Amino acid sequence: MADLFTVDARGLTCPQPVLETKKVLDEGLANRFRVLVDNETSRENVSRFARNKGCEVVIDDSRQDGCEITITRTAGEPIPAHQEPLLPCPVPDAGGSGKLVVYVGNDCMGRGDDELGAKLMRGFLHTCIDVEPHPWRMIFINAGVKLATQDAAAVEALGVLQDKGVELLSCGTCLQHFGLEAELKVGRVTNMFEVIETLSSATKVISPD
């Protein structure tokens, strides 16, 4: 199957393998392709997600370096009435702190004076560097994406947090809305599917705005 379109999702954390599979199906990149995964949760969730989309799924567990899932989409195949639930993403070892998520929905902190709010937000981000445990993920929604693009002081603080292992996720729709798709300085683009998965998997969610 060397000629098949391949998604190598080995080493990716949940739910990224499912998101990569969704991208192939949503963008029509291939009607028959394979996904390589290296853990049981990804194996199950990629397979279930594809079957929920009406695809045929063949699983090959014979590989030494993981599992190979071949997905075939047939034109006109109906979506199953019964949708298989996806498994929850495993909680990573975070020294007993669980999965702390910071949800940032604005580039200012608090309401009233935006200039003051911007200073407070930068202060919050810089303080996050020194306070432990660090967040598992930080999600930037709406004007929050400006912190990872236009605000140099915020970008500097976020870069340090990223180096400490914090995942930084900026809403792709929000970046597009503000015309900032090409301006992302730190972290990566996310979508609503991953946002919901992240919030559902979180032990605690805090929002500074």
Of 84, 78, 74, nearest in space to 46 by CA:
84
Q: Structure pTM?
A: 0.62
- State the pairing for strand pair 167-171/188-190: parallel
Intervals of CATH 3.40.1260.10 along the chain: 100-206
Residue 112 has pLDDT above 90, yes or no: no
3-state DSSP assignment of residue 33: strand
Mean pLDDT of 30-55: 93
pLDDT for the residue 162: 93
113-128 pLDDT tens trace: 999 999 999 999 999 9
**Cα separation of 197 and 204, whole Å?**
13
Among 50-64, 68-82, 144-158, the least confident range: 68-82
**Cα separation of 68 and 50, whole Å?**
13
Contact yes or no for 5/23 (Cβ under 8 A): no
Amino acid at 188: R
φ, ψ of residue 70 in degrees (nearest 5): -95, 125
Tokens of 129: 């560097």
pLDDT for the residue 91: 58
Intervals of CATH 3.30.110.40 along the chain: 5-72
Residue 79 has pLDDT above 90, yes or no: no
Mean pLDDT of 35-42: 93
The CATH number of the domain covering residues in 100-206: 3.40.1260.10
Residue 93 has pLDDT above 90, yes or no: no
- State the pairing for strand pair 67-72/56-60: antiparallel
Residue 1 has pLDDT above 80, yes or no: no
Kindly write down the DSSP assignment for every residue of 106-172, as one continuous string: -SSSSSS-HHHHHHHHHHHHHHHHHSSSPPSEEEE-GGGGGGGTT-HHHHHHHHHHHHTT-EEEEEH
Peptide bond into 78 cis (omega under 30): no
Mean pLDDT of 68-72: 95
**Cα separation of 88 and 18, whole Å?**
12
Of the pLDDT bands very low, low, confident and very high (cuts 50, 70, 90), residue 193 is confident
We find that the CATH architecture of domain 5-72 is 2-Layer Sandwich (3.30)
Mean confidence (pLDDT) of the chain: 89
Residue 46 has pLDDT above 50, yes or no: yes
Strand partners, 92: none
158-171 pLDDT tens trace: 999 999 999 999 99
Site of tokens 């994406």 = 145
